[in-house]
Amino acid sequence: MPEWFGPSYKGKVEAHFFRAYFIDSGVFKILGEEFEVQSLSDELVRLHNRLVFLVENGGRLPEAGA
């Protein structure tokens, strides 16, 4: 299959995906290699919350090299 977005594929024959995201397990698969998406998602949420805090409290990110 060229692409898939949905639950894990459970068929009688093993499917080969060009790219797929399995919503029930949170796994992204491309060219036979699987990647856990949860850790990336957690970090994006953490950064978002930090930026919201800085905006609401008049803060700023540290300067580069400081």
Distance between CA 54 and CA 39 in Å, rounded? Answer: 23
Examine the pLDDT at 66 and tell me if it is beyond 60. no
Residue 18's nearest CA partner among 2, 34, 36 is 2
Compute CA 2 distance to the chain's CA centroid, rounded to the nearest angstrom: 20
Tens of pLDDT, residues 4-50: 788 887 778 777 778 898 888 888 888 888 888 888 889 999 999 99
Which of 15-19, 53-57, 58-62 holds the top average pLDDT? 53-57
Domain ranges of the chain: 3-56
- In this structure, what token pair is assigned to residue 13? 């024959």
Examine the pLDDT at 61 and tell me if it is beyond 80. no
Predicted pLDDT at 16: 76
